[in-house]
Amino acid sequence: MRKGRGGRRRVGVSAESVDFKAMAATETRVILKSEKEKERIGAAVKSNFLFTSLDEEQMKTVVDAMKLHQYKAGDTVIKQGDDGDEFFVLENGTCECYLNHVLDDDGKPKMVKTYESGESFGELALMYNTPRAASIVAKTDAALWAMDRATFRKVLLFSTAKKRDQYECFLDNVPLFASMDKYEKSKVADSLVERTYKDGDYIIKEGDTEDTNFYILAEGKAIATKVIDDTGVAREVKSYVAGEFFGELALITNNPRAANVVSQDCKCVSIDKASFNRVLGPVEEILKREKGAYEELEAKLLGR
Protein backbone atom coordinates (compact mmCIF):
# COMPACT_ATOMS: atom_id res chain seq x y z
CA MET A 1 0.00 0.00 0.00
CA ARG A 2 1.10 3.58 -0.57
CA LYS A 3 0.73 6.83 1.32
CA GLY A 4 0.71 10.41 0.05
CA ARG A 5 4.21 11.86 -0.12
CA GLY A 6 5.48 15.09 1.36
CA GLY A 7 8.28 17.22 -0.02
CA ARG A 8 9.48 20.56 -1.23
CA ARG A 9 6.85 22.65 -2.96
CA ARG A 10 7.34 23.50 -6.61
CA VAL A 11 6.89 26.98 -7.99
CA GLY A 12 3.92 27.82 -10.20
CA VAL A 13 3.92 26.77 -13.82
CA SER A 14 4.14 30.39 -14.98
CA ALA A 15 7.62 30.55 -13.48
CA GLU A 16 8.77 27.37 -15.21
CA SER A 17 10.27 27.51 -18.71
CA VAL A 18 8.97 24.63 -20.85
CA ASP A 19 11.37 23.32 -23.51
CA PHE A 20 9.00 21.53 -25.90
CA LYS A 21 11.82 20.11 -28.06
CA ALA A 22 13.45 18.53 -25.03
CA MET A 23 10.05 17.37 -23.80
CA ALA A 24 9.27 15.69 -27.13
CA ALA A 25 12.59 13.83 -27.02
CA THR A 26 12.07 12.56 -23.48
CA GLU A 27 11.46 8.82 -23.21
CA THR A 28 8.28 7.81 -21.41
CA ARG A 29 7.89 4.76 -19.23
CA VAL A 30 6.20 1.62 -20.55
CA ILE A 31 4.64 -0.80 -18.09
CA LEU A 32 3.33 -4.07 -19.53
CA LYS A 33 -0.36 -4.79 -19.03
CA SER A 34 -3.14 -6.92 -20.52
CA GLU A 35 -5.38 -5.78 -23.38
CA LYS A 36 -8.36 -5.66 -21.01
CA GLU A 37 -6.42 -3.42 -18.64
CA LYS A 38 -5.47 -1.15 -21.54
CA GLU A 39 -9.12 -0.90 -22.61
CA ARG A 40 -10.25 0.04 -19.09
CA ILE A 41 -7.55 2.68 -18.73
CA GLY A 42 -8.27 4.12 -22.16
CA ALA A 43 -12.00 4.38 -21.47
CA ALA A 44 -11.43 6.13 -18.14
CA VAL A 45 -8.82 8.58 -19.45
CA LYS A 46 -10.90 9.50 -22.51
CA SER A 47 -13.73 10.63 -20.21
CA ASN A 48 -11.42 13.30 -18.78
CA PHE A 49 -11.64 16.61 -20.68
CA LEU A 50 -7.85 16.98 -20.63
CA PHE A 51 -7.45 14.02 -22.96
CA THR A 52 -10.33 14.45 -25.42
CA SER A 53 -8.10 15.84 -28.18
CA LEU A 54 -5.26 13.29 -27.96
CA ASP A 55 -4.50 11.25 -31.05
CA GLU A 56 -4.10 7.46 -31.08
CA GLU A 57 -0.34 7.53 -30.53
CA GLN A 58 -0.62 9.94 -27.59
CA MET A 59 -3.35 7.83 -26.01
CA LYS A 60 -1.09 4.77 -26.31
CA THR A 61 1.67 6.66 -24.50
CA VAL A 62 -0.74 7.53 -21.70
CA VAL A 63 -2.00 3.97 -21.32
CA ASP A 64 1.49 2.42 -21.49
CA ALA A 65 2.77 4.71 -18.73
CA MET A 66 0.06 3.79 -16.22
CA LYS A 67 1.16 1.80 -13.15
CA LEU A 68 -1.23 -0.07 -10.85
CA HIS A 69 -1.29 0.89 -7.13
CA GLN A 70 -3.33 -0.81 -4.41
CA TYR A 71 -4.71 1.09 -1.42
CA LYS A 72 -6.46 -0.10 1.74
CA ALA A 73 -9.53 1.63 3.15
CA GLY A 74 -8.35 4.72 5.01
CA ASP A 75 -5.09 5.12 3.08
CA THR A 76 -4.20 8.60 1.86
CA VAL A 77 -3.76 8.65 -1.91
CA ILE A 78 -3.06 12.39 -2.18
CA LYS A 79 -2.25 14.77 0.68
CA GLN A 80 -3.19 18.43 0.37
CA GLY A 81 -0.08 20.60 0.10
CA ASP A 82 2.21 17.84 -1.23
CA ASP A 83 3.95 17.92 -4.58
CA GLY A 84 1.95 16.59 -7.52
CA ASP A 85 3.79 13.56 -8.87
CA GLU A 86 1.05 11.36 -10.32
CA PHE A 87 -2.30 11.46 -12.12
CA PHE A 88 -4.77 8.76 -11.04
CA VAL A 89 -7.52 6.73 -12.69
CA LEU A 90 -9.69 4.71 -10.30
CA GLU A 91 -9.86 1.05 -11.42
CA ASN A 92 -12.18 -0.12 -8.64
CA GLY A 93 -13.28 0.95 -5.17
CA THR A 94 -14.26 4.37 -3.85
CA CYS A 95 -12.20 7.42 -2.89
CA GLU A 96 -13.22 10.66 -1.19
CA CYS A 97 -11.91 14.19 -1.67
CA TYR A 98 -11.37 16.43 1.40
CA LEU A 99 -10.49 20.10 1.73
CA ASN A 100 -8.39 20.67 4.87
CA HIS A 101 -9.17 24.38 4.98
CA VAL A 102 -12.94 23.82 4.84
CA LEU A 103 -14.39 22.25 7.99
CA ASP A 104 -17.63 20.36 8.49
CA ASP A 105 -19.98 20.72 11.47
CA ASP A 106 -17.67 18.53 13.57
CA GLY A 107 -14.65 20.70 12.83
CA LYS A 108 -13.06 18.10 10.53
CA PRO A 109 -11.92 18.57 6.91
CA LYS A 110 -15.01 18.59 4.72
CA MET A 111 -15.63 15.83 2.20
CA VAL A 112 -16.55 17.55 -1.08
CA LYS A 113 -16.58 14.76 -3.67
CA THR A 114 -16.69 10.98 -4.05
CA TYR A 115 -14.82 9.20 -6.85
CA GLU A 116 -16.08 5.89 -8.23
CA SER A 117 -14.64 3.33 -10.63
CA GLY A 118 -13.54 4.89 -13.93
CA GLU A 119 -13.13 8.43 -12.60
CA SER A 120 -9.81 10.28 -12.48
CA PHE A 121 -8.13 12.93 -10.35
CA GLY A 122 -4.81 14.60 -9.59
CA GLU A 123 -4.30 16.41 -12.89
CA LEU A 124 -4.34 20.02 -11.65
CA ALA A 125 -1.12 19.91 -9.61
CA LEU A 126 0.69 18.29 -12.53
CA MET A 127 -0.76 20.61 -15.14
CA TYR A 128 -0.03 23.84 -13.25
CA ASN A 129 2.98 22.59 -11.26
CA THR A 130 1.46 23.57 -7.92
CA PRO A 131 0.95 21.73 -4.61
CA ARG A 132 -2.01 19.41 -4.22
CA ALA A 133 -5.19 21.44 -3.69
CA ALA A 134 -7.07 18.71 -1.78
CA SER A 135 -6.61 15.38 -0.04
CA ILE A 136 -7.87 12.10 -1.52
CA VAL A 137 -8.52 9.19 0.84
CA ALA A 138 -9.53 5.62 -0.06
CA LYS A 139 -13.00 5.02 1.42
CA THR A 140 -12.77 1.32 0.52
CA ASP A 141 -9.97 -0.90 -0.68
CA ALA A 142 -9.12 0.56 -4.07
CA ALA A 143 -6.98 -0.09 -7.12
CA LEU A 144 -5.74 2.95 -9.02
CA TRP A 145 -3.74 3.39 -12.21
CA ALA A 146 -1.16 6.18 -11.89
CA MET A 147 0.68 8.08 -14.62
CA ASP A 148 3.96 9.75 -13.70
CA ARG A 149 4.40 13.50 -13.83
CA ALA A 150 6.94 13.48 -16.68
CA THR A 151 4.68 11.49 -19.01
CA PHE A 152 1.64 13.54 -18.06
CA ARG A 153 3.36 16.84 -18.80
CA LYS A 154 4.97 15.61 -22.01
CA VAL A 155 1.72 14.31 -23.46
CA LEU A 156 -0.52 17.11 -22.21
CA LEU A 157 1.66 20.20 -22.63
CA PHE A 158 3.22 19.11 -25.91
CA SER A 159 -0.12 18.13 -27.45
CA THR A 160 -1.72 21.36 -26.24
CA ALA A 161 1.04 23.50 -27.77
CA LYS A 162 0.92 21.55 -31.04
CA LYS A 163 -2.86 21.81 -31.19
CA ARG A 164 -2.79 25.56 -30.45
CA ASP A 165 -0.27 26.29 -33.22
CA GLN A 166 -2.25 24.20 -35.70
CA TYR A 167 -5.63 25.75 -34.98
CA GLU A 168 -4.45 29.34 -34.59
CA CYS A 169 -3.24 29.13 -38.20
CA PHE A 170 -6.59 27.67 -39.21
CA LEU A 171 -8.56 30.38 -37.37
CA ASP A 172 -6.51 33.08 -39.10
CA ASN A 173 -8.24 32.02 -42.32
CA VAL A 174 -11.79 31.91 -40.90
CA PRO A 175 -13.51 35.29 -41.54
CA LEU A 176 -15.64 34.94 -38.39
CA PHE A 177 -12.53 35.34 -36.22
CA ALA A 178 -10.91 38.19 -38.18
CA SER A 179 -11.69 40.71 -35.42
CA MET A 180 -10.13 38.59 -32.65
CA ASP A 181 -6.64 39.26 -31.35
CA LYS A 182 -4.03 36.50 -30.91
CA TYR A 183 -4.91 35.90 -27.25
CA GLU A 184 -8.61 35.50 -28.03
CA LYS A 185 -7.84 33.12 -30.90
CA SER A 186 -5.58 31.03 -28.65
CA LYS A 187 -8.48 30.55 -26.22
CA VAL A 188 -10.70 29.37 -29.06
CA ALA A 189 -7.93 27.07 -30.38
CA ASP A 190 -7.53 25.42 -26.97
CA SER A 191 -11.27 24.67 -26.90
CA LEU A 192 -11.53 23.01 -30.33
CA VAL A 193 -12.16 19.28 -30.71
CA GLU A 194 -11.57 17.64 -34.10
CA ARG A 195 -14.04 15.17 -35.63
CA THR A 196 -14.02 13.36 -38.99
CA TYR A 197 -17.27 12.41 -40.78
CA LYS A 198 -17.89 10.03 -43.67
CA ASP A 199 -20.09 10.85 -46.67
CA GLY A 200 -23.72 10.85 -45.55
CA ASP A 201 -22.99 11.08 -41.82
CA TYR A 202 -25.24 13.43 -39.88
CA ILE A 203 -23.18 16.06 -38.07
CA ILE A 204 -26.36 17.72 -36.75
CA LYS A 205 -29.91 16.34 -36.78
CA GLU A 206 -33.00 18.55 -37.01
CA GLY A 207 -34.90 18.65 -33.70
CA ASP A 208 -31.98 17.33 -31.63
CA THR A 209 -31.64 18.82 -28.16
CA GLU A 210 -28.71 16.72 -26.92
CA ASP A 211 -25.96 18.02 -29.23
CA THR A 212 -24.87 21.46 -28.01
CA ASN A 213 -21.73 21.99 -30.10
CA PHE A 214 -20.75 24.81 -32.44
CA TYR A 215 -19.01 23.58 -35.60
CA ILE A 216 -16.47 24.97 -38.07
CA LEU A 217 -15.84 23.04 -41.28
CA ALA A 218 -12.09 22.39 -41.51
CA GLU A 219 -11.92 20.18 -44.62
CA GLY A 220 -14.34 18.90 -47.26
CA LYS A 221 -17.97 19.91 -47.72
CA ALA A 222 -21.33 19.58 -45.96
CA ILE A 223 -24.94 20.47 -46.72
CA ALA A 224 -27.82 21.67 -44.56
CA THR A 225 -31.21 20.05 -45.12
CA LYS A 226 -34.56 20.90 -43.57
CA VAL A 227 -38.27 20.08 -43.78
CA ILE A 228 -39.72 23.43 -44.86
CA ASP A 229 -43.15 22.48 -46.30
CA ASP A 230 -46.00 19.99 -45.91
CA THR A 231 -44.29 17.21 -47.88
CA GLY A 232 -42.27 16.15 -44.85
CA VAL A 233 -39.21 15.78 -47.07
CA ALA A 234 -35.95 17.42 -46.01
CA ARG A 235 -34.64 19.73 -48.76
CA GLU A 236 -31.14 21.12 -49.19
CA VAL A 237 -31.15 24.70 -47.97
CA LYS A 238 -27.44 25.55 -47.75
CA SER A 239 -23.99 24.17 -48.54
CA TYR A 240 -20.80 24.64 -46.54
CA VAL A 241 -17.12 24.71 -47.50
CA ALA A 242 -13.97 24.85 -45.37
CA GLY A 243 -13.88 27.88 -43.07
CA GLU A 244 -17.66 28.19 -42.73
CA PHE A 245 -19.51 27.47 -39.52
CA PHE A 246 -22.86 26.12 -38.32
CA GLY A 247 -24.68 25.03 -35.18
CA GLU A 248 -24.63 28.41 -33.47
CA LEU A 249 -28.39 29.07 -33.54
CA ALA A 250 -29.31 26.34 -31.06
CA LEU A 251 -26.65 27.66 -28.66
CA ILE A 252 -27.78 31.28 -28.96
CA THR A 253 -31.53 30.58 -28.76
CA ASN A 254 -31.45 27.42 -26.58
CA ASN A 255 -33.87 25.84 -29.08
CA PRO A 256 -33.66 22.38 -30.71
CA ARG A 257 -31.56 22.06 -33.86
CA ALA A 258 -33.33 23.88 -36.69
CA ALA A 259 -31.88 21.80 -39.55
CA ASN A 260 -29.78 18.78 -40.45
CA VAL A 261 -26.15 19.16 -41.46
CA VAL A 262 -24.93 16.20 -43.51
CA SER A 263 -21.30 15.42 -44.28
CA GLN A 264 -19.83 15.05 -47.75
CA ASP A 265 -16.58 13.49 -46.48
CA CYS A 266 -15.47 16.27 -44.16
CA LYS A 267 -13.54 17.18 -41.04
CA CYS A 268 -14.93 19.60 -38.47
CA VAL A 269 -13.67 21.27 -35.33
CA SER A 270 -16.24 21.88 -32.63
CA ILE A 271 -16.68 23.84 -29.42
CA ASP A 272 -19.01 22.71 -26.64
CA LYS A 273 -21.64 25.07 -25.25
CA ALA A 274 -19.73 26.04 -22.10
CA SER A 275 -16.61 26.92 -24.09
CA PHE A 276 -18.74 28.63 -26.74
CA ASN A 277 -20.20 30.97 -24.14
CA ARG A 278 -16.79 31.59 -22.58
CA VAL A 279 -14.58 32.25 -25.59
CA LEU A 280 -16.84 33.52 -28.38
CA GLY A 281 -18.03 36.75 -26.76
CA PRO A 282 -16.11 38.94 -29.27
CA VAL A 283 -18.06 37.48 -32.23
CA GLU A 284 -21.46 37.03 -30.59
CA GLU A 285 -23.08 39.87 -32.57
CA ILE A 286 -21.85 38.39 -35.85
CA LEU A 287 -23.36 35.05 -34.91
CA LYS A 288 -26.68 36.66 -34.01
CA ARG A 289 -26.80 38.36 -37.40
CA GLU A 290 -26.56 34.96 -39.06
CA LYS A 291 -29.95 34.07 -37.56
CA GLY A 292 -31.63 36.69 -39.77
CA ALA A 293 -29.75 35.44 -42.84
CA TYR A 294 -31.03 31.90 -42.28
CA GLU A 295 -34.61 33.14 -41.93
CA GLU A 296 -34.32 35.10 -45.20
CA LEU A 297 -32.93 32.04 -46.99
CA GLU A 298 -35.79 29.83 -45.80
CA ALA A 299 -38.38 32.41 -46.88
CA LYS A 300 -36.78 32.58 -50.32
CA LEU A 301 -36.94 28.81 -50.73
CA LEU A 302 -40.63 28.88 -49.87
CA GLY A 303 -41.22 31.63 -52.42
CA ARG A 304 -42.27 34.22 -49.85
Banded pLDDT at 11 (limits 50, 70, 90): very low
Q: Computed over its alpha carbons, how large is the radius of gyration of the chain? A: 23
pLDDT of the residue at 5? 45
Separation of alpha carbons 129 and 177, rounded Å = 32
- pLDDT at position 64 is 92
Return the higher-pLDDT residue of 4 and 264.
264
262: left (phi over 0), alpha (psi -120 to 50) or beta: beta
Q: How many CA atoms lie within 13 A of 19 on its CB side?
A: 5
pLDDT at res. 301: 52
Q: What whole-number distance in Å separates Cα of residue 78 and Cα of residue 130?
A: 13
What is the rounded distance in angstroms from the CA atom of residue 189 to the CA atom of residue 205? 25
Asked if pLDDT for residue 38 goes beyond 50, the answer is yes
Q: What is the pLDDT of residues 75-113, one digit of tens each?
A: 999 999 998 889 998 989 999 999 988 888 888 888 989
158 Cβ neighbours under 8 A, 6+ residues apart: 20, 23, 24
Domain spans, the chain:
13-155, 173-301
Give the C-alpha separation, 107 to 263, whole Å: 58
* pLDDT score for 295: 60
To the nearest whole percent, how much of the chain has pLDDT over 70? 81
Average the pLDDT over 64-83 and give the result.
94
Check if 13-155 and 173-301 are the same fold.
Answer: yes
Q: Which of 9-13, 74-78, 82-86, 250-254 has the lowest mean pLDDT?
A: 9-13
Give the C-alpha separation, 199 to 274, whole Å.
Answer: 29
Return d(Cα 41, Cα 271) in angstroms, integer.
Answer: 25
Give the predicted TM-score (pTM) of the model. 0.52
Per CATH, the architecture of 173-301 is what? Sandwich (2.60)
Of 45-49, 77-81, 108-112, 175-179, least confident by mean pLDDT is 45-49
CATH of 13-155, one of 3.90.1170.50, 1.10.3720.10, 3.40.50.2000, 2.60.120.10: 2.60.120.10
